[in-house]
Amino acid sequence: MSTRGVRGALLALAALTLIWSYNWIVMKQALAYSGPFTFSALRYVGGTAVLFVLLLARRESLAPPPFWPTLGIGMAQTAGFQALVQWALVSGGAGKTALLAYTMPFWAIALAWPLLGSRPGGRQWWSIAVAACGLLLVIAPWQGVGSTRSVLLALAGGLSWAVGTVLAKRLFVRHPDVALLSVSAWQMLYGTLLLVLLALLIPQPVVQWTPPFIAAVAYNVLLASGLGWALWLLVVQRLPAQVASLTSLAIPLMGVLLAWLILHEQPGIWEVAGMALIAMALLSLRRTSMR
């Protein structure tokens, strides 16, 4: 991968960090007006439509990419991750749920080794260890992390996202000519079908179509779902699986800072120390990926 390609991936990650970190607050607030599965289905139906409109506007082929790998990505990355974390938000705080879901990088590294033959190097092992210690300090489980169900759902969501990330990386390796936007659109379509089914089968509160809820849906349709997952697959395509996964830890860090600025949730000493460690690990990974 050229230096220019890596820089493009890092710029995509920077934009994604801003979009997704703020969205944890948006998703939590949306639950005051809708059930978790209904909101998930709404955001991804709209997000899928946006991606297919982009395909048409760019005059790209609507032919689906390899079916089974794309289906696996959609089930894990779109349906599994979104359903689990949105459910976790019902009884868990936005900040803690985001941090627990972002155990994803460590699941991804464990899966990438046997499935991709991608063994971390010496500097990456050091970054993994430092980032893991930092994440542990930020979560601070000795201070309590919320209900057991919320914790388990958020962790399962992180695992599901990791599966989707590794499957996407393997698809891009085996089919280097596959179009990024096509994969983004079709995997989201497959995952959305399952989310819609869950919303129809599981009893949900009646949606309150208030201005804040409409704004939350619009933010998720246009940015967090449509643009967001396309940017994430660009990152996965251009960076090694371990680097792509670990650099995503910038997102919950930004989430903590936004919660401080917007919700006045001032981070404690453990969170500050943990964020410093994660930042150190991310800087080390950036130097590695730019080589």
pLDDT tens track, the chain, 291 positions = 567 777 888 899 889 989 999 998 899 889 999 999 999 999 999 999 999 999 999 999 999 999 999 999 999 999 999 999 999 988 877 777 877 888 888 888 888 888 888 777 777 788 888 888 988 887 778 777 667 788 889 889 999 999 999 999 999 999 999 999 999 999 999 999 999 999 999 999 999 999 999 999 999 999 999 899 989 988 888 888 767 777 787 887 787 777 778 767 677 788 788 878 887 877 676 554 444
Q: Is 48 in contact with 162 (CB distance < 8 Å)?
A: no
How high is the pLDDT of residue 2?
A: 63
Compute the C-alpha angle 81/203/28, nearest 5°: 45
Long-range contacts of 2-10 (CB under 8 A, 24+ apart): 3/290, 5/238, 6/238, 6/239, 6/289, 6/290, 7/290, 8/234, 8/238, 9/234, 9/235, 9/237, 9/238, 9/239, 9/244, 10/247, 10/286, 10/289
How high is the pLDDT of residue 291?
A: 46
Compute the C-alpha angle 101/106/109, nearest 5°: 135
Task: Write the burial class of residue 51 (CB in 10 Å: 0-12 exposed, 13-18 middle, 19+ buried).
Answer: buried
CA distance 279 to 247: 9
Residue 68 contacts by C-beta under 8 Å, 6 or more apart in sequence? none
Instruction: Classify the C-alpha dihedral 55-175-118-68 as positive or negative.
Output: positive
pTM of the entire predicted model: 0.86
Q: From 193, 169, 190, select the one nearest 180 (Cα to Cα).
A: 169
How high is the pLDDT of residue 290?
A: 41
Residues across the chain: 291
How high is the pLDDT of residue 287?
A: 52
